[in-house]
Amino acid sequence: MTGSPRQPDALQDLREISVRFGSDPMHIQGAGGNASVKDGAVMWIKASGTLLAEALTKEIFVDTDLPAMRRALGSNDPTADQPATFCLPGCPSLRPSIETSLHAVFPQRVVLHTHCIHTLAHAVRKDARACLADRLQEFDWAFVDYKKPGANLARGVQAVLGPDTNVVVLGNHGLIVAGESASAVADLQSRVHEALSLPAAGLKPTDTVALNALVGDGAYAAAEDPHLHQLALDPHRVARVTKGSLYPDHVIFCGIAVAAVQAGETLDQAVDRITQTGAPAPVWLIVPGAGVLLRKDAGVPARVMMRCLADVMARVPQDAALNYLSIEQNLELLDWDAEKYRQELNAC
Ligand SMILES: [Zn+2]
């Protein structure tokens, strides 16, 4: 990737680590996560909707006015939630990530934000702080409770940063690491990932007969990935993932929680029951004890996010109490009106 002359050399190093972690679904799934490098008053940040995995073959970074972004954050200016405002003249048609402000609050030059599976498996627990404290003793780290991605979350991170804090775990969301060079950040990311590493539960066999009897020639098919079916094959996991949503990207790409076919229901009856609440036809449906069904027209983002959920849930111990996003937190991610949603729920 040959950038424009104004791009700093450090951006090339950032591209390399972006591809390394962006290509590994244990760190980043699909278009999630982002990376940035500061060069004086300019911050280069990943553009919204682009893939870190493609950083060496496509232009995914845009340059933004760092002092202006920091001023907007400090004065509670609503433009802090409109990062395109801070694009420098000549910036390509890409829009900076909604998480741009999250990078601006770090004093370090290079920042990497991921949805690391091991971090998520801790960050969705009610006792996340205590579990993390056990495992992150050698790091200068901080924890921030869940907030919608954007300026409020950035201010929450800023409030907990000490002079040398370079690891921040975002409750029900993910991980941020920071450093003075891309190689230092890559090393830190790997060390935190290792420190939080959890073994995955083993795979159980799918009930393909039951799944095929249910799907017929309709809009759904049995998932191909055996890891996904595990969400349906362990009663604890069924109860957990149908109860609510655990982190934002799941809500954005798969909807609220995960729907299940109830005992005795046909697939059409299950879909009718769900869509009568005003929700769209579910991308995924769990068939408890049998496996997981996927809508045939589901896109790649929904598929990678469901695998992310399967990977997280395979690592959360059965006795851990989980922290779910509230209805309001789910709906603000979908830009839905909370009151309207409640009325629709009550109408059926
Ligand atoms: Zn994120």
pLDDT in tens, 218-227: 899 999 999 9
- Calculate how far, in angstroms, residue 342's C-alpha sits from the geometric centre of ligand 1: 27
Residue 203 belongs to some domain of the structure:
no
Domain end call among 195, 217, 232: 195
User: Do both 45 and 131 map to the same domain?
Assistant: yes
Same domain as 263, residue 152: no
The pLDDT assigned to 347 comes to 46
- Structural domains of the chain, count: 2
Give pLDDT, residue 94: 86
Q: Residue 344 has what pLDDT?
A: 55
Residue 6: per-residue pLDDT: 75
Residue 89 domain flag:
yes
Tokens of 65: 């006015």
Q: Determine the distance separating the centroid of ligand 1 and the alpha carbon of 114, expressed in angstroms.
A: 6
Average pLDDT over residues 238-243: 96
Residue 131 C-alpha to ligand 1 middle, in angstroms? 21
Give the C-alpha separation, 288 to 261, whole Å.
7
From the CA of 248, how far away is ligand 1's center (Å)?
A: 8
Q: Which two tokens mark 254?
A: 């798969």
In the predicted structure, residue 335 carries a pLDDT above the cut 70: yes
Ligand 1 centre and the CA of 273: distance in Å? Answer: 32
Sheet holding 167-170, edge to edge: 61-65, 42-46, 34-39, 110-114, 174-179, 167-170, 141-144
Residues 27 and 162 in one domain: yes
pLDDT class of 348 with cuts at 50, 70, 90: very low
State percent of the chain over pLDDT 70.
95
Does the residue 3 lie in any domain?
Answer: no
The boundaries of the domain holding residue 229 are 208-345
Rounded CA-CA distance 243/268 in Å is 22
User: For the chain, how many helices (H) and strands (E)?
Assistant: 15, 11
Q: At 333, which amino acid appears?
A: L
| Separation of CA 6 and ligand 1 centre (Å) | 28
Q: Cβ of 149: how many Cβ atoms within 10 Å?
A: 22
Per DSSP, what are the bridge partners of residue 220?
295
* Co-location of 248 and 294 in the same domain: yes
Distance 322 CA to ligand 1 centre (A): 19
Task: Please compute the mean of the pLDDT values over residues 196-207 and round it to a whole number.
Answer: 96
Query: Which of residues 146, 161, 195 is at a domain's end?
Result: 195
Global confidence as pTM? 0.93
Q: What is the CATH number of the domain that holds 31?
A: 3.40.225.10
- Alpha-carbon distance of 111 to 89, in angstroms, equals 23
**Quick check: is 104 in a domain?**
yes
Same domain? For 137 and 233 the reply is no
Q: Which of 150, 170, 195 is the last residue of a domain?
A: 195
pLDDT tens for 104-125 read 999 999 999 999 999 999 999 9
At which residue do the structure tokens 């601006």 appear?
104
Q: For the segment 286-330, what is each residue's pLDDT rounded down to a tens digit?
A: 999 999 999 999 889 899 999 999 999 999 999 999 999 999 999
Q: What's the CA gap between 176 and 169, in Å, rounded?
A: 6
The answer to whether residue 201 sits within a structural domain is no
Both 110 and 49 in one domain: the answer is yes
Indicate whether 87 belongs to any domain. Answer: yes
Residue 312 alpha carbon to ligand 1 centre in Å? 15
Domain identity same for 155 and 271: no
Compute, in angstroms, the gap from residue 173 CA to the centroid of ligand 1: 6
Question: Could you tell me the distance, in angstroms and rounded to a whole number, from the CA of residue 32 to the centre of ligand 1?
Answer: 6
Domain co-membership, 46 together with 167: yes
Q: What's the pLDDT tens digit per position in 68-88?
A: 999 999 999 999 999 999 999
Residues 232 and 253 in one domain: yes
Identify whether residues 252 and 115 lie together within a single domain. no
Whether residue 183 is contained in a domain is answered as yes
Q: Tell me: do 131 and 25 sit in the same domain.
A: yes
**Do residue 123 and residue 212 come from a single domain?**
no
Ligand 1 centroid, distance to 26 Cα (angstroms): 14
Residue 291, in any domain of the structure: yes
